[in-house]
DNA sequence: ATGCAGGAGAAAT
DNA sequence: ATTTCTCCTGCA
């Protein structure tokens, strides 16, 4: 069963268990199933993987489908020095950020497939992570490719083109079916849309994404940050809005004003700051709910 | 039991 | 240029 040996993804890539879980299953990606606290399984870059972290924090992986573990170095964006990027953030004058960075050392932004990221976040509105994963699992089984062991890759947008909205609705996505059908249609009509996106300046890429049905500011910034390599993207969800409002005394600021503030305060690595703050906020119990 | 969730879009201020 | 309502579904 384990004919393929586990190998260290990269000796310099080390994380603690909470950070490991936050990276794979904290809301950036929806393709990983936790099969043990330190062990995840999922499909990435067209291959089935098992990924684990050992007692020393080294990340180990093996592919059930013959994938080269080097593919994961790219997925984890190991070429980017996130520690250095974090040090460039204004933590010296920002105690909230300093606490978040301190508590989540080793956090990184994944380099995911752009089309898959778009699909995932189109399903994300008013949904919890487990629900998003369920929708994607159903879509993968219906329109994706079998990779291994009952695991399917997510469908390409090409595979989704022409699927009627009514058919999509059976996969628990509700009103989001209209958005997915609409985006599939747009991308079929503009085949170069996604590949061009990466080459555009951030503002233009964002504008292009928002022109898609079902993609507003928040989802556009998620797609650009987690799938487009735009580390200046700063998605503002309810957690981040609360963090900014209560942490910086911006209670009366609108979402667009908060976005403006974040760009100026956090700078070119704003997306990483967002990820730290998000993990930090989500770790502590909600404002009104104990236990 | 129902309000509401890591939102978008259109209608109504 | 904001605020409000609806859109599905399933947790809490």
DSSP result, A105-169:
TT-------HHHHHHHHHT-TT--HHHHHHHHHHHHHHHS-EEETTEEPPPPHHHHTT--HHHHG
Q: Which nucleotide is nearest to A174 (CA to C1')?
A: C8
Find all residues with CB under 8 Å of A208, minimum gap 6, and list them: A193, A197, A200
pLDDT at A29: 97
Tokens 């699927």, located at residue = A163
Q: How many CB atoms lie within 10 A of CB A42?
A: 21
> A40 and A26 in contact (C-beta within 8 Å)?
no
Residues of chain A with pLDDT under 50: 286-291
pLDDT at A45: 97
Q: Which nucleotide is nearest to A126 (CA to C1')?
A: B5
Instruction: Give all strands (DSSP E) within chain A, no chain letters.
Output: 7-8, 32-36, 39-44, 47-53, 59-63, 146-148, 151-152
CA of A248 to C1' of C5 (A): 31
Q: Which nucleotides of C are covered by protein (CB under 7 A)?
A: 2-3, 7-12
CA of A66 to C1' of B1 (A): 50
pTM: 0.96
From the C1' of C7, which residue's alpha carbon is nearest? A175
From the C1' of C3, which residue's alpha carbon is nearest? A254
pLDDT at A128: 92
pLDDT at A285: 55
pLDDT at A245: 93
């Amino acid at each position: 069963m384990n004919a393929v040996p586990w190998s260290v993804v990269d000796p310099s890539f080390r994380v603690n268990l909470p950070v490991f879980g936050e990276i794979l299953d904290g809301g950036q990606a929806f393709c990983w199933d936790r099969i043990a606290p330190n062990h995840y399984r999922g499909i990435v870059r067209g291959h089935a993987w098992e990924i684990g972290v050992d007692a020393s924090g080294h990340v180990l992986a093996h592919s059930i489908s013959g994938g080269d573990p080097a593919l994961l170095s790219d997925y984890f964006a190991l070429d980017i020095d996130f520690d250095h990027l974090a040090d460039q953030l204004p933590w010296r004058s920002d105690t909230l950020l300093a606490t978040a960075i301190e508590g989540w050392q080793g956090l990184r932004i994944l380099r995911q497939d752009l089309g898959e990221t778009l699909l995932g976040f189109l399903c994300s509105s008013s949904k919890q992570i487990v629900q998003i994963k369920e929708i994607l699992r159903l879509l993968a089984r219906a329109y994706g490719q079998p990779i291994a062991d009952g695991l399917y890759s997510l469908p390409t947008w090409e595979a989704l083109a022409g699927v009627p909205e009514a058919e999509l609705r059976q996969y628990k996505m509700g009103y989001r079916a209209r958005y997915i059908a609409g985006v599939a249609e747009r991308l079929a009509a503009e085949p170069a849309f996604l590949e061009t996106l990466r080459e555009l300046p951030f503002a233009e890429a964002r504008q292009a994404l928002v022109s898609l049905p079902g993609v507003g500011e928040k989802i556009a910034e998620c797609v650009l940050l987690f799938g487009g390599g735009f580390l200046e993207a700063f998605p503002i969800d309810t957690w981040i809005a609360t963090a900014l409002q209560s942490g910086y005394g911006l209670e009366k600021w609108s979402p667009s004003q908060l976005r403006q503030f974040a760009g100026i305060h956090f700078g070119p690595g704003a997306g990483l700051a967002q990820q730290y703050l998000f993990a930090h906020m989500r770790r502590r119990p909600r404002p009104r709910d104990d236990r």
